Chains A and B, each alone.
Chain A
Amino acid sequence: MMLDDLVAALRAAHDSQTPLRIRGAGSKDFYGGMLAGEVLDVAAYRGIVAYEPTELYVTAKCGTPLAEVEAALAEKGQMLAFEPPHFSGATVGGCVAAGLSGPRRQQAGAVRDFILGVKLIDGAGQVLDFGGQVMKNVAGYDVSRLLAGSMGTLGVLAEVTLKVLPQPVAEQTLVFTMDEAEAIKRLNQWGGQPLPVSASFWHGGQLWLRLSGARAAVDAAYRKLGGTLAVDAENHWISVREQTHPAFAGSILWRLALPSTVHSPGLDGLRAIEWGGGLRWYAGELDAVRGAAARAGGHAVLFRAPESLRCREGAFASLLPAMLALHRRLKNSFDPRRILNLGRLYAEF
């Protein structure tokens, strides 16, 4: 598949005002608002365009599987530091469009923090280049980062350039037994100290803490913190990243992003805590979860749920009217005929 094929498809859809549903591997079809429109399959637009280990960037076409990118990086001892979930075969384009980061987000930052540039095809079929391959670039508005988490509503992310980082020299996972309140307290205390904590996961009275960095730093932190060394830690973190861990089981899963210090938002059904307390997972058909998250200073995403529930509740917390109006105007700036991923972020656009 060539870029021109994608451009032609977008132009035709623009001209005929045909709604499109952009699809890579479909690994996150469960996520976000309702799927609508004719499928624009971009999986065949794939391949690594450029990878410069000493310049710390990789450029890949949207349909490139994350696994392929990560394998190329691993050969040079590098990684995507935001540790994105693959689910079933996730692609680079979908990874950025969904904006989901994994366990290492707490130390390294989110997807958006690693975006250096994009080649975007907007809703009128124009090819636009924003950002580039350099680490620092403040020429023009930072459109590249705006696209992280935009759920394909602003354009087709034909190519993405991501900052890459060296893999840590050493990693060690410690396990502690403690309840929710203690875990929140400790995670925030550790967060304020110069410790190489790269991931945290609390579930069922146990806290897993991953240390990553220089060998000496990891060893020193282990001596300081204590805990039990985890066995098979690598697979543990993969199961957290991929949500194959039993903590994520069940048909209804809420994702709450909260200030890390919030002790408890006053909800039952807590399944897991990640990101030093900033991310909490709840299971079950909870009433008033959105209100509770908002009162605690965060927001709730209905992450996995039967279609009927997602349709009723919306996947994402609603926006205030002025903010929604601003979103609509931005949507129109990129997709004037409103053909891209309608309703995938909000039903209103």
Chain B
Amino acid sequence: MTSPEPAFDTDRAALVARLNTVLPAHCLLVDDEDLRPYECDGLTAYRELPMAVCLPETEGQVVDVLRTCHQLGVPVVARGAGTGLSGGAMPHAQGVVLSLARFNKILRVDREARLAVVQPGVRNLAVSEAAAPFSLYYAPDPSSQIACTLGGNVAENSGGVHCLKYGLTVHNVLRIRVVSIEGEVFEIGSEAPDSPGYDLLALLIGSEGMLGVVTEVTVKLVPKPELAQVVMASFDDVGKAGDAVARIIAAGIIPAGLEMMDKPATAAVEPYVKAGYDLDAAAILLCESDGTPEEVAEEISRVTEVLTAAGAGNIRVSQSETERLRFWAGRKAAFPAVGRITPDYYCMDGTIPRKRLAEMLAAIVEMEKKYALRCANVFHAGDGNLHPLIMYDAAKHGEWERAEAFGAEILELSVALGGSITGEHGVGIEKINQMCVQYKTPELETFRRIKAAFDETGLLNPGKAVPSLHRCAEYGRMHVHHGEIKFPELERF
């Protein structure tokens, strides 16, 4: 395939010389062995060495680095903790990585106003820890919350297991400071409920480092519920489990968390964490209720009733905080647990309408045969976000290519079922081709114009998130055979 992305031709020596004038020596990495740790993010299958890594310590230095790169026409890839799963922080071979790792201070926790002002390199969990003395916390809790940073959460609009009730990053960020590629500092949003003009906060959150570099984030803190309890239910059929999810919602219940794991996932997890999962079940559901003790008791009894009516076999309710955490431990450890039983795994992130779940899982079983690879499924059932974990061995010839094709087919089926190619991990480099399936040309052109409104020369994270039309044309030629469309049996959305 010919290179569909704009080419850059960076003079490395000139770049390093200029960066040396704006950064102290300990803030600039240029030797290959120092650059190596930055060659990929959480999606390790895609790697690239940058020309330099900048580790600024002040906003002024961020401005200078961006101005320098703008003047020299050098691509810039911003990076937080590098835990992203879509290759969004994969470096550009002709560019610099702008690491915000040293922006690691919590600037203010305001109890009365229920907000925290933090630098973008602060870890997600650290915000909740700092707010804990006030019985407040930051709601979005991606599974990587021990390591992932707020700057990265803003770039990816990260979710977590509690977003059905508490929202995504976009619902929990009040204000950001952003530096444009030209080095201009913008303050977007405020501590007030809204701001004049367009809702640029919504546009910036989830923009994958393509529109600006975040240097400060103000987040909303919410009161910690007095109590949380989780119901664990087993089902002998995934369709029944999916139906149970719909019934809970139809009963007017919005649980704090609603997660599903299929049999291969529980089989991988149980020996690792001993959460007490029913290994005979085709699927298990975890349904969390939080609030005042009275509220939780009322909701748990309603949930239990609905689950029983939906045909749940074994139903257990956590009787202590320790037990609640144990039930969750398995779900939170699903990725590393799968990592124990296979040399490599490839995590997908499609969303689908909940009612199509059984269909999707049946299709995945067929794909396992087609690509001769195993797949375990964990599912944010409450909001339709599926994480199939495709198991492969990178050392075996052809397995990664089969895993990649398997993943692409899942994503394209997600779109065909009325969903999306990514619920919370972002497009990055990984799903760039599937964007051509998700959107038509006019939408992609609109994205490109929005990008140009912020970054006319296209230097911020080039080649990610929004494919060029050329790339889509190439991808279309590869994937449409004999004029047939995929999944012809499905109704189109």
Contact = CB atoms under 8 A, between A and B. Distances in A.
Interface string A301-337: 1000000000000001111001100110110111000
A316 B197 contact: yes
Nearest to B110: A261
Interface stretch (B27-35, B37-45, B186-194, B266-274): B186-194
A103 to B, nearest CB: 12
A187 B130 CA distance: 23
A198 to B, nearest CB: 14
Interface stretch (A7-15, A22-30, A49-57, A238-246): A49-57
Interface stretch (B63-71, B162-170, B468-476): B162-170
A335 to B, nearest CB: 11
Contacts of A134: 351-353, 383-385, 418-420, 423
| Range of interface residues on B (Cβ < 8 Å) | 35 or more
Contacts of A129: 439-440, 443
A138 B446 contact: no
B292 A194 contact: yes
Given A54-B355, A330-B450, A317 B292 contact: no
A279 B291 CA distance: 26
A121 to B, nearest CB: 11
Contact of B422 (A55, A127, A138, A142): A138
A140 B443 contact: yes
Contacts of B419: 132, 134, 137
Most B CB atoms within 10 A — which of A54, A137, A139, A345?
A139
B297 A216 contact: yes
B196 A322 contact: no
Nearest to B448: A333
A210 B355 CA distance: 35
Most A CB atoms within 10 A — which of B197, B291, B449?
B197
Contacts of A122: 446
B246 interface: yes
Contacts of B382: 135
A165 B197 CA distance: 28
A191 interface: yes
Contact of A138 (B186, B191, B426, B466): B426
Interface stretch (A60-68, A106-114, A172-180): A106-114
B453 interface: yes
Interface in B156-193: 156-157, 159, 163-164, 167-168, 170-171, 184, 186, 190-193
A17 interface: no
A141 B226 contact: no
B113 A136 contact: no
A122 B421 CA distance: 24
B223 A193 contact: yes
Nearest to B245: A54
A67 B3 CA distance: 52
B366 interface: no
A188 B226 contact: no
B62 to A, nearest CB: 17
Contacts of B198: 146, 149-150, 154, 327, 330
Interface stretch (B18-26, B201-209, B309-317, B323-331): B201-209
A86 interface: no
Contacts of B401: none
B438 interface: yes
Given A134-B384, A140-B439, A146-B198, A192 B136 contact: yes
B132 interface: no
B292 A110 contact: no
Given A134-B352, A134-B423, A165-B254, A275 B193 contact: yes
B198 to A, nearest CB: 6
A343 interface: no
Contacts of B207: 141-142
Nearest to B175: A297
A102 B21 CA distance: 53
Interface in A204-253: 213-217, 219-221
A322 B184 contact: yes
Interface in B295-321: 295, 297-299
Interface string B329-362: 0000000000000000000000111110000000
Nearest to A105: B193
B157 A258 contact: no
A53 B250 contact: yes
Contacts of B431: 139
B224 A194 contact: yes
Contact of B196 (A132, A189, A220, A299): A299
Most A CB atoms within 10 A — which of B198, B203, B384?
B198
Closest 7 interchain pairs by CB? Answer: A216-B294, A145-B202, A166-B252, A298-B192, A136-B423, A333-B449, A329-B453
Given A112-B199, A220-B292, 14 more contacts: A53-B249, A130-B443, A133-B353, A134-B351, A134-B352, A136-B159, A136-B420, A138-B157, A140-B439, A142-B207, A149-B199, A154-B198, A216-B298, A316-B197
9 contacts: A54-B250, A99-B194, A138-B423, A141-B447, A142-B170, A146-B199, A257-B195, A298-B190, A298-B191
